[in-house]
A = this chain, B = another copy of it.
């Protein structure tokens, strides 16, 4: 998550600066070609282009909307995890009372273990994320992930006391989904407490409902992670922008040619700017649609997990509390 109100010039360049190069190349190529050949085919009428421009702006806008929806839904679900964590800790504390301190701790620690496990699972790259792209595109993204994404927080992640939180839990690889496994054991602990008479059936079921909510939260996040913005929608948005930019110099050159030959070169900067606006609109959606890539535009999962950890340890009355995660390079993960 970017934490600065308005991106600095450097920030803008960081996100979309490199696209100026190929736009410049393409505009210059076509303008020069026209300048030296005066092929009329390089100066097509602008009007048909304008219809395409509007249609493409619509389509990209639609995609941006959906991408935003995915990001925001992801954040909402993590918000739901925060809320469930507080209900859980508060009720467990209240229902079990001071005489069952160990059980309380086990249930609350289990929650913390679950969120950190879930976070790691969500960061596993899928086939359609930027870091899985081939060639230069992929390695570019891998670098960003390392230097401006999750990579910046390796130290903090290493310091998480998973051992403490998972004490008493069965761990191991024979479960396909580790986070599910933890929740499953929470159910079993609740049942054991019922069998031991520490919880009556009503309170057991009330707590079980929070576990069920956690199953919901987890499943919803996995849905966003495992089901991309349908690629037929996403790919063509990219393609349409390419088509528009491909045709752009033909139209721009035509319009500037009317000013006379000397001014034809103005088509280059103006074409670049118009093309760049379209590229950036496409990019924004493209980087927001998968909110668990480990890149700077992600939902700040680590920071949210830490907030939960602090709150829950507070409720347990512990005093050795970790510090909140701070943004680095104006990026919060």
Contacts and interface: CB of A to CB of B under 8 A. Distances in A.
A174 B277 contact: no
Nearest to A11: B235
Nearest to A43: B259
Given A187-B94, A252-B48, A297 B232 contact: yes
Nearest to A50: B51
Contacts of A64: 59, 62, 233
A94 B190 contact: yes
Contacts of A311: 176-177, 180
Q: Is chain A's interface secondary structure helix, strand, loop, or mixed overall?
A: helix
Contacts of A52: 273-274, 277
A176 B324 CA distance: 10
A47 B206 contact: no
Interface footprint category on A = 35 or more
Contact of A5 (B79, B133, B233, B236): B133
B203 A205 contact: yes
Interface of A: 1-7, 11-12, 15, 40-41, 43-59, 61-62, 64-66, 68, 71, 75-76, 79-80, 82-83, 86-87, 89-91, 93-95, 97, 127-130, 132-133, 174-177, 180-181, 183-184, 187-188, 190-191, 200-203, 205-206, 208, 211-212, 215-216, 218-220, 222-223, 227-228, 230-236, 238-240, 243, 247, 251-252, 255-256, 258-260, 262-263, 266, 270, 273-274, 277-278, 280-281, 284, 287-288, 297, 299-300, 310-311, 314-315, 319, 321, 327
Given A5-B128, A48-B252, A59-B281, 8 more contacts: A5-B133, A48-B255, A52-B274, A53-B54, A90-B187, A94-B187, A94-B191, A176-B321
By Cβ-Cβ distance, the 10 closest A-B pairs, closest first, are A83-B219, A79-B223, A2-B231, A94-B191, A45-B255, A51-B53, A55-B57, A7-B235, A5-B128, A90-B187
